[in-house]
Structure 1
Amino acid sequence: MSTSNSTWAASREQRRFIGNFGDKILNGEAALFVGAGVSRSAGFVDWKALLSDVADELDLDIGKEHDLLALAQYHVNGHGGRAELNQQLIDVFTRDAEQTEMHSTLARLPIDTVWTTNYDQLLEKAYESAGRRVEVKLSIQNLAQARKGRDVTLYKMHGCVTQPHDAVLTKQDYEIYDLERRLFTDSLKGDFIEKTILFLGFSFSDPNVERILAKVREQLGQNQRTHYWIARRPPQTCPMGRRPAEEMEYDRRKAELQSADLKRYGIHTIWVEDYADVPSLLRALEAYVTRKGVFVAGAAHEPGELGWNRLNELSRVLGGEIIRCGFNLVSGFGIGIAEQTILGAFRAVYESTYTQSAERVLIRPFPGSAPSARRAEVFRRHREDLIAQVGALVVIAGNKAVEGDSVVPSGGIEEEVRIALRLGKPVIPVGLTGYVAHAVWEAACAAPDRYLPGIDGTAELEVLGNAASTVQEIVGAVSSLLTKAEKIASARCRENASR
């Protein structure tokens, strides 16, 4: 389900956040803290909705109750146990809910530490769908365990629907939290000190988090790291006058006071005008983090009108230019193109006095041992994993042989283009190389905003479709488009990088 706002454009404050937090991600210093608001966008209930039946049973008005922990405790007191509350948790959080664009984007961000107070399993499923190996920490016992090859560690500090009897739900659960889950407190405190945390869907009403913030502030004083909280700015007016102006002004004033108070803990508020803008903001953050990566989608069983010598030269020169311009090459090692592109890239790396090949060239050949029944799915996920790590996709040729030595457009290259478009990545087709690249070039000329969002690429596309263009002209046009895309993703321009 897509929830992004196509009319969204980043504010100056949001662009500054994208650059600052994006750099922390790239340096391995970032963490996420995901609250109930993210699950609510997927269709799950919030605390008030979860406890509405409990309030009715207690003859209380859920709309008037603010201490929801006490409400849960009253229920347990009256029933002599929490079996019914556990069952309610299972019933609510095991029903189907649709993973949102926000979950998908968060799972693609190269952040390896995630905290949540949510009971549902949407985050775990999002990471698995993104091809990342997630280790879930639910108890003190498995905090000391480590899953081999994990990509991300998910700390569910209040438990999970899979173990409802251990979930933190009531006032008493919070009172004894440090006795039974002290290591969670210490671990989160350590991440507050060592990492920059982005809070999403969180209201800062949780007493555990509030207590930890206070302890960190007490120990560090003014030497705290900067953290971020994405929050909706209360509107000034209400459509159709459904709420009095005094109420609206009260909400705005309270939000401003809360934002100012959070600065005591180093937490800076990043305002959005509408919650529907959050997926777009996260997509822009993803574009910034991946902006230096370039995926070359190419396969050639035969070279077309260029001939092998010119096609190979073009691929080598392009690979070298990608590195020399400060970009990183990502390749799935397609037939006839990848080896030449990689060769050119490695030559440029070794000619440099400061670059490291492991950081500049990522080679991920397609799995050769995939069962035939699952081959298409495995290859699709492999492509999605690679393309999610780049800022743009370059298309060269794109043909393959079939039975009878016939040469046809490559379905794999076509799929890579579809994936890039779905993820909002600019697609740069070298049309003169024929086959899929030519078809994509024609489509890009007809609908440039779809293939090169926010980029004026008219002149470059003309070069890329002209059979008389030299290798240097072709590579120069590709380099120009990559640079323009990188500027947009860097939030240095006002164009919308996440359309």
Structure 2
Amino acid sequence: MNTPNYAFAAEREQRRFIVNFGDKVLNGEAALFVGAGVSRSAGFVDWKALLRNVAEELDLDIGKEHDLLALAQYHVNGNGGRYELNQQLIDAFTRDATKTHVHDILGRLPIDTVWTTNYDQLLEKAYETAGRRVEVKLSIQNLAQARRGRDITLYKMHGCITQPHDAVLTKQDYEIYDTTRRLFTDSLKGDFIEKTLLFLGFSFTDPNVERILAKVREQLGQNQRAHYWITRRPPKICPEGRRPSEDMEYDRRKAELQSADLRRYGIQTIWVDDYADIPHLLRALEAYVMRRGVFVAGAAKDPAPLGRESLDQLSRLLGATIIGRGFNLVSGFGVGIAEQTILGAFHAVYESTQAQPADRILIRPFPGNAPLSTRADAFKRHREDLISRVGAIVVLAGNKADNNDAPMLSPGVEEEVQIALSLGKPIIPVGISGHIARKIWEAATTDPHRYLPGIHCEAELATLGKPDASIQEVSDAIGTLLERAERLASTKN
């Protein structure tokens, strides 16, 4: 399960990055470049580990070697081909590895262009888990093809474990790259010019990328787009005490020089103190991007204790409040709640004097035709997809009919709350509507930091559970909490 991000306090430069890059994501101008560091944290080997046996066969010390492409080339030269190197690649990248929190967050971010030098398929799995359709570009031949309905285009510029014979591994592979994969170079160059890239797990030692950066700089001069690189600032002192302080200071100085040099290409370094901070920083970015979406979790076979008329009135007013305060409604069309919430939201859209985009209301009914044997899994994935698109959820009522047509607590609404907790989303329970909402409200009043992390909420929570509160008071309290959650996610707090 993912860890909520409220323990992470972004620094000024990190907050600036979240806002600037987040706005590029929202405008469709962002792209990702994922390097080996992201896969290494999932349990895959890095280049040095991959070539350790190769170095031993050549009577060389892998610890002393820096030109690893040349090392791979020496091995191919000595063996008259690359069969053994291909096999080592297969062995290294077909063993079990688990995608990380970083993969999960990247899978949810609405970025449609992704570049990687990695051979593994963890990114593909992350996008599949997030319910997004990915088209993988592996060769010149399929660069010109387009998969209809794709959500992501993933450029694997060095190949994939599925085709190890075509992977870019050796010095010669790099030397002939512009002959065999020239269109990848041109496409990446175009994205450098037209998009804002975020580099993750990348060391900027790849000669292909360095050459492309130089060409873009040559053509654009000082008119380059801003790009970002998230990396760890080398510590001043080795925690384990295995390295002297002068070596640690040397690493810091070199890192600062590299960071300054990357500014020539428009790349700004976003420092973190520890690699473990990177998922939290990305979670904060996700919260910023999704901050205006609101998911209403609820179902009401039984409208008690409010009664049908009051519950419908509250649902319609909630929909109108979400739209009227500048948020977007996301709904799975839960029985007894969604119809009225959507109705109120549409009234607010059509009655507004301001231009309203069509995507202010997103309705994604649950897949009713899913086979009974797989329905629970399908519904869970559907809920995860919906909740990953929002900044907060509101819980109303939460009951359904049992086999005897009697009301019972809704396990679906409860699952939605658990998904929101796992994703670190603020949860606003309308306690006066009873059922699951009352249960969550009681838990939230006891532990508000868990359900509304970092948000001042005591007075509003009290209103949401007060039996004599008016419908307008409840709606206003929800709107206030949504605005506070939005301010927190937008780093304006």
Question: Does TM, normalized by the shorter one, top 0.5?
Answer: yes
Distance of 2:442 and 2:180 partners within structure 1 = 63
| 1:227-246 correspondence runs (5 A) | 227-246=227-246
For residue 241 of structure 1, report the CA deviation from its aligned partner.
Answer: 2.9
Pair 1:436–1:3, CA change in 2 (3 A):
closer
Per-residue Cα deviation, 1:238-264 (whole angstroms, up to 9, x for no partner): 225321111111101100000000000
| 1:85-96 correspondence runs (5 A) | 85-96=85-96
| 1:158-307 correspondence runs (5 A) | 158-307=158-307
The equivalent of 1:38 in structure 2 is 38
The equivalent of 2:406 in structure 1 is 406
SS of residue paired to 1:192: helix
Q: Contact between 1:3 and 1:276, CA under 8 Å: does it hold in 2?
A: no
For residue 447 of structure 1, report the CA deviation from its aligned partner.
Answer: 1.2
The equivalent of 2:68 in structure 1 is 68
For residue 356 of structure 1, report the CA deviation from its aligned partner.
Answer: 2.7
The equivalent of 1:456 in structure 2 is 456
Pair 1:146–1:240, CA change in 2 (3 A):
closer
The equivalent of 1:436 in structure 2 is 436
Q: Contact between 1:346 and 1:357, CA under 8 Å: does it hold in 2?
A: no
The equivalent of 1:497 in structure 2 is none
SS of residue paired to 1:197: strand
Pair 1:482–1:2, CA change in 2 (3 A):
closer
Distance of 2:137 and 2:71 partners within structure 1 = 27
2:56 matches 1:56: yes
- AA of the residue aligned to 1:32: L
Q: Contact between 2:114 and 2:155, CA under 8 Å: does it hold in 1?
A: yes
For residue 52 of structure 1, report the CA deviation from its aligned partner.
Answer: 0.6
Per-residue Cα deviation, 1:356-407 (whole angstroms, up to 9, x for no partner): 3522100111112111111111111001000000000000001111122210
SS of residue paired to 1:334: coil
The equivalent of 2:98 in structure 1 is 98
For residue 353 of structure 1, report the CA deviation from its aligned partner.
Answer: 2.9
Distance of 2:431 and 2:2 partners within structure 1 = 31
Per-residue Cα deviation, 1:268-310 (whole angstroms, up to 9, x for no partner): 0000000000000000000000000000011111210211111
Per-residue Cα deviation, 1:406-448 (whole angstroms, up to 9, x for no partner): 1001111011001000000000000010000000101111111
The equivalent of 1:151 in structure 2 is 151
Larger deviation, residues 436-445 vs 352-361: 352-361
Per-residue Cα deviation, 1:43-89 (whole angstroms, up to 9, x for no partner): 00111111011011111111111100000000000000000000000
| 1:377-416 correspondence runs (5 A) | 377-416=377-416
Q: Contact between 2:444 and 2:451, CA under 8 Å: does it hold in 1?
A: yes
Pair 1:159–1:241, CA change in 2 (3 A):
same
Distance of 1:357 and 1:377 partners within structure 2 = 32
Distance of 1:250 and 1:219 partners within structure 2 = 34
Q: Contact between 2:22 and 2:288, CA under 8 Å: does it hold in 1?
A: yes
- AA of the residue aligned to 1:414: E
Q: Contact between 2:32 and 2:114, CA under 8 Å: does it hold in 1?
A: yes
Distance of 2:179 and 2:404 partners within structure 1 = 72
Pair 1:4–1:246, CA change in 2 (3 A):
farther
SS of residue paired to 1:239: coil
- AA of the residue aligned to 1:14: Q
Q: Contact between 1:2 and 1:100, CA under 8 Å: does it hold in 2?
A: no
SS of residue paired to 1:397: strand
Could you tell me the TM-score, scaled by structure 1's length?
A: 0.97
The equivalent of 1:117 in structure 2 is 117
Q: Contact between 2:233 and 2:274, CA under 8 Å: does it hold in 1?
A: yes
Distance of 2:114 and 2:92 partners within structure 1 = 23
Q: Contact between 2:2 and 2:422, CA under 8 Å: does it hold in 1?
A: no
| 1:346-385 correspondence runs (5 A) | 346-385=346-385
2:19 matches 1:19: yes
Distance of 2:372 and 2:138 partners within structure 1 = 37
Count of equivalent residues: 493
2:420 matches 1:417: no
- AA of the residue aligned to 2:345: A
Distance of 1:406 and 1:5 partners within structure 2 = 39
SS of residue paired to 2:276: helix
Q: Contact between 2:6 and 2:453, CA under 8 Å: does it hold in 1?
A: no
For residue 355 of structure 1, report the CA deviation from its aligned partner.
Answer: 3.5
Q: Contact between 1:387 and 1:420, CA under 8 Å: does it hold in 2?
A: yes
Distance of 1:98 and 1:471 partners within structure 2 = 47
Q: Contact between 2:193 and 2:225, CA under 8 Å: does it hold in 1?
A: yes
Q: Contact between 2:119 and 2:160, CA under 8 Å: does it hold in 1?
A: yes
- AA of the residue aligned to 2:90: I
Distance of 2:283 and 2:265 partners within structure 1 = 27
For residue 337 of structure 1, report the CA deviation from its aligned partner.
Answer: 0.7
SS of residue paired to 2:145: coil
Per-residue Cα deviation, 1:462-499 (whole angstroms, up to 9, x for no partner): 00001100011000110111011101100112xxxxxx
SS of residue paired to 2:154: strand
Distance of 1:301 and 1:5 partners within structure 2 = 35
SS of residue paired to 1:304: coil
Structure 1: tracts of 5 or more residues without a match: 494-499
Distance of 2:339 and 2:7 partners within structure 1 = 41
Distance of 2:365 and 2:172 partners within structure 1 = 53
- AA of the residue aligned to 1:261: D
* Alignment root-mean-square deviation, CA: 1.1
Q: Contact between 1:5 and 1:277, CA under 8 Å: does it hold in 2?
A: no
Distance of 1:355 and 1:98 partners within structure 2 = 45
Q: Contact between 1:4 and 1:277, CA under 8 Å: does it hold in 2?
A: no
Q: Contact between 2:2 and 2:423, CA under 8 Å: does it hold in 1?
A: no
Distance of 1:239 and 1:388 partners within structure 2 = 36
Distance of 1:219 and 1:80 partners within structure 2 = 41
Distance of 2:166 and 2:178 partners within structure 1 = 14
Distance of 1:382 and 1:265 partners within structure 2 = 41
The percent identity for this pair of structures is: 75
For residue 3 of structure 1, report the CA deviation from its aligned partner.
Answer: 7.7
SS of residue paired to 1:279: helix
Distance of 1:278 and 1:486 partners within structure 2 = 22
For residue 4 of structure 1, report the CA deviation from its aligned partner.
Answer: 7.9
Q: Contact between 2:3 and 2:423, CA under 8 Å: does it hold in 1?
A: no
Distance of 1:296 and 1:266 partners within structure 2 = 41
The equivalent of 1:496 in structure 2 is none
- AA of the residue aligned to 2:456: D
Q: Name segments (4+ residues, structure 1) moved above 4 Å.
A: 1-7
Q: Contact between 2:198 and 2:228, CA under 8 Å: does it hold in 1?
A: yes
